[in-house]
């Protein structure tokens, strides 16, 4: 079963830059996929189209049964509830504690207090921050902040987790911690993970599916792939 299907997708920005050329790609449910490629190769654009921040110029994108390209603005929230998103810059709310930041994602979709509490604590435990529940973001290390962001992304138990360079701001040790957490989420919850990265070590160590982009084109899609310099 494919969770994500792209068919002949083109993306041309308003300024005339074409970021994605004729991309056809399927991602299986439960897989862990790295998206690699040089700067400006269209990785972020691909991710943005998957959560409908950007619309494809042409072609078809289906995510979890939702026809994303044709999704009306008003209905975008339905797609967003099926997936979690993590960015390089964490995007936490500085005035809220760890617990409140994670619970926020449940509250704004109208979950009950009880459901919010149970799921929030579970997610925080999964990312290993049980003892920092009442800390504020500025009292945490970068790696810990990113784990809060991951907890927030998975608190609603989404089928898909999109990560755009989640380790981009972290040192190698912290990066490996994050990878452990992501691997665990993939294994324990069966969450499909699509992760954009520049980190060769991570890609080579994890031995997962690797999708390589170059100048907006899909040039390689390999099970247990590696990060080769000639790809870029």
Distance CA 88, CA 57 (A): 26
- Work out which of 23, 85, 178, 179 binds another protein, going by CB under 8 A: 85
The region of 13-21, 94-102, 129-137, 148-156 touching ligand ATP under the rule CB under 6 A is 13-21
- Work out which of 24, 28, 58, 78 binds another protein, going by CB under 8 A: 78
Residue 40 touches which of another protein, Mg ion, ligand ATP, none (Cβ within 5-8 Å per kind):
ligand ATP
User: Which alpha helices (H) appear in the chain, and where do they start and end?
Assistant: 43-50, 76-80, 98-107, 113-126, 142-154, 172-189, 200-206
Sheet-wide strand order for 18-28:
18-28, 2-12, 58-63, 66-67
Q: What residues from 31 to 60 belong to the interface with Mg ion (CB under 5 A)?
A: 44
Whole-number Cα distances in Å, 177 to 69, 118, 137, 166, 167: 35, 24, 18, 11, 10
Unique residue bearing structure tokens 């970021």: 19
Would you say 153 or 196 has its CB closer to ligand ATP? 196
What are 200's two structure tokens? 């060769």
Q: Does 43 bind ligand ATP (CB under 6 A)?
A: yes
For another protein, how many residues bind (rule: CB under 8 A)? 23
Would you say 41 or 192 has its CB closer to ligand ATP? 41
Residues that bind ligand ATP (CB under 6 A): 13, 15, 17, 19, 37, 39-45
């Amino acid at each position: 079963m494919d969770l994500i299907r792209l068919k002949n997708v083109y993306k041309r920005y308003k300024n005339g830059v074409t970021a994605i050329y004729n991309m056809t790609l399927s991602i299986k449910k439960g897989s862990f996929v790295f998206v690699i490629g040089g700067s400006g190769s269209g990785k972020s654009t691909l991710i943005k189209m998957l959560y409908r921040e950007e619309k494809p110029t042409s072609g078809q994108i289906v995510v979890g049964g939702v026809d994303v390209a044709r999704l009306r603005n008003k209905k975008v929230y339905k797609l967003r509830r099926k997936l979690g998103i993590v960015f390089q810059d964490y995007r936490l709310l500085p005035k809220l504690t760890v617990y409140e930041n994670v619970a926020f994602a449940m509250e704004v979709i109208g979950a009950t207090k009880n459901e919010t509490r149970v799921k929030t604590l579970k997610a925080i435990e999964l990312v290993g921050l049980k003892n920092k529940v009442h800390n504020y973001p500025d009292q945490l290390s970068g790696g810990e902040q990113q784990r809060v962001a991951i907890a927030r992304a998975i608190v609603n138990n989404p089928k898909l987790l999109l990560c755009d360079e989640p380790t981009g701001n972290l040192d190698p040790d912290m990066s490996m911690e994050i990878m452990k957490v992501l691997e665990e989420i993939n294994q324990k919850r069966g969450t499909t993970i699509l992760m954009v990265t520049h980190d060769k070590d991570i890609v080579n160590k994890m031995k997962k599916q690797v999708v390589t982009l170059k100048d907006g084109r899909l040039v390689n899609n390999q099970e247990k792939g590696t990060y080769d310099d000639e790809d870029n």
